[in-house]
Amino acid sequence: MTDSESDSMLEQLEDACLPSDMDDVSDGSGGWFMVKEMDSLDLNDKMSDWDYCSDGSDSIGQGMQSLRLDDVVEIDHPERLIHQMLNHAAQFTRRIRQPRCTCIEEVVREHVLPLLPAKSLCRFRAVCKGWNQWISSPFLAHKQTMRFQHISGFFCQKPGYDCYFIPLDPETQGMPDPYLTFMPSHVNIRSICSGLLCVQGVDDAYYICNPVTKKWKMLPNPRLYHGPGTAVSLTFEPSTYNFSNNFELVCAVPVTDSGFVEFEIFSSRSRSWRTSVDMCLELANATFVGDGYYWDGSVYWVVEYGVILVFNVRIEHYSIMQLPVGCSTNGTLTEMHGELCYMVALGEGSDLAIHIYGGMNMSLRRRICIPWACSGIPRQVRLMGCVDGDILPVCLGNVVISHCISTEETRMLGVDRMLGGCTMMRYLPYVNSLVHVNEELSEPGDDLESMES
């Protein structure tokens, strides 16, 4: 073969090895490069991010071990070589092409829908058959339980009356049955945690329910006697590995005859009650102010002695915290910016002052003044908790207002006509979630039709 014939054949080979669809590849930006000549294919410089063969040869990945620079040294059969190099070039082009673009519908289904409240999800079931199946599936319910943790409203109850739900946004965070009429009997709300609600029936039986899906489960009778002074707290932490939505109900049970407090715990894993070895001996004849508040693995109960009884659920050990000096026990435990806080409302003339204490020593963190909130006829002031660390709902008599800490903006949420001047009203913040009560029940989509209206 003459030199001119060899040069001509190599030019044809270079043209064959560079398909036309590589012209769209950028020149170095974004990690891409254009191969102009076979001699410029330096694997050590250009392909440092690729996987090399185990034998150390200059090849691109294990699937292309035959594409080596040594192949162009000896050319005995140019037609066969050109055919082989065309196949290798086609494989190489397929490997460097960008992956298929993800459809926007798939992005919305996988990453947006789990961030929405349950009522909005129920409306989106009408989009198409595929969305209806996905929203009704337990996988979406599990993802939404983990990712949606915003407070949607408050369950309220006056002693002797049925409970009801006050949504912060009725359009997107409503409830199919705000009075819990799906329960087998009249119930009293006790504790709420991440979408699950603990109620107690007239027969003193405990129930765990999800007001959104209207599913409930009655717990077996405890071993100890849970009298009127028993304080409870529901503990539930949504996580990737908690697909069965296991929960625990922690009860602080004052033993009247002995003068100490025992802790009895129901676990959904074992479906049974157990009594903790650790018991509180310092709070003889303790009187709890309401039920407990669960945060960061521990339950906190306010005691009339001016202290907070703390029970660590993970190690089942109790401790005692002091309330801020001079504070009354009618405050509210809540979480703000990743810290446990205790809020107390004080009337200062026509203004309302909210003192926020935090930390293990319960030192004063912030003082918020709402001008003219207490003007006119003196009314009962009750703090309802904290919404997303920035919104403070406050009940002034039967008027519910919200104060934004960051913008200092105050607006009226509505009038609670059921309150009627009651000072024993109970408010529990609720997260609008699709969490399953237990895995043996039907899927949540079966009972969400009523929320679409």
Delimit the domains of the chain by residue range.
3-96, 130-452
Which parts of 236-378 are beta strand (E)? 248-255, 260-267, 272-275, 293-295, 298-303, 307-312, 317-322, 332-336, 339-348, 351-358, 363-370
- Which stretch of 95-104, 233-242, 249-258, 371-380 has the lowest confidence by average pLDDT? 95-104
Q: What does the pLDDT read at residue 34?
A: 36
User: pLDDT band for position 190 (50/70/90)?
Assistant: very high
- Identify the H or E element spanning 349: none
Helix (DSSP H) and strand (DSSP E) numbers for the chain = 7, 23
Q: Is 394 exposed, middle or buried (0-12, 13-18, 19+ CB in 10 A)?
A: buried
Residue 436 has pLDDT above 90, yes or no: no
Q: Directed axis angle between helix 3-17 and helix 78-96, to 10°?
A: 30
Quick check: pTM over 0.85?
no
User: pLDDT band for position 123 (50/70/90)?
Assistant: confident
User: pLDDT band for position 37 (50/70/90)?
Assistant: very low
414 φ, ψ (degrees, to nearest 5):
160, -175
Residue 213 has pLDDT above 80, yes or no: yes
Q: What does the pLDDT read at residue 57?
A: 40
Q: What does the pLDDT read at residue 7?
A: 54
Residue 411 has pLDDT above 90, yes or no: no
Domain 130-452 fold: Neuraminidase (2.120.10)
The pair of three-digit structure tokens given for residue 334, joined into one six-digit string: 């809540």
Average pLDDT over residues 206-214: 92
Which comes out higher in pLDDT, residue 26 or 425? 425
Mean pLDDT of the chain: 77
The pair of three-digit structure tokens given for residue 388, joined into one six-digit string: 């997303």
**What whole-number percentage of the chain has pLDDT above 70?**
72
User: pLDDT band for position 38 (50/70/90)?
Assistant: very low
User: pLDDT band for position 2 (50/70/90)?
Assistant: low
Which comes out higher in pLDDT, residue 67 or 214? 214
- Which stretch of 67-76, 281-290, 384-393 has the lowest confidence by average pLDDT? 67-76
Average pLDDT over residues 284-307: 91
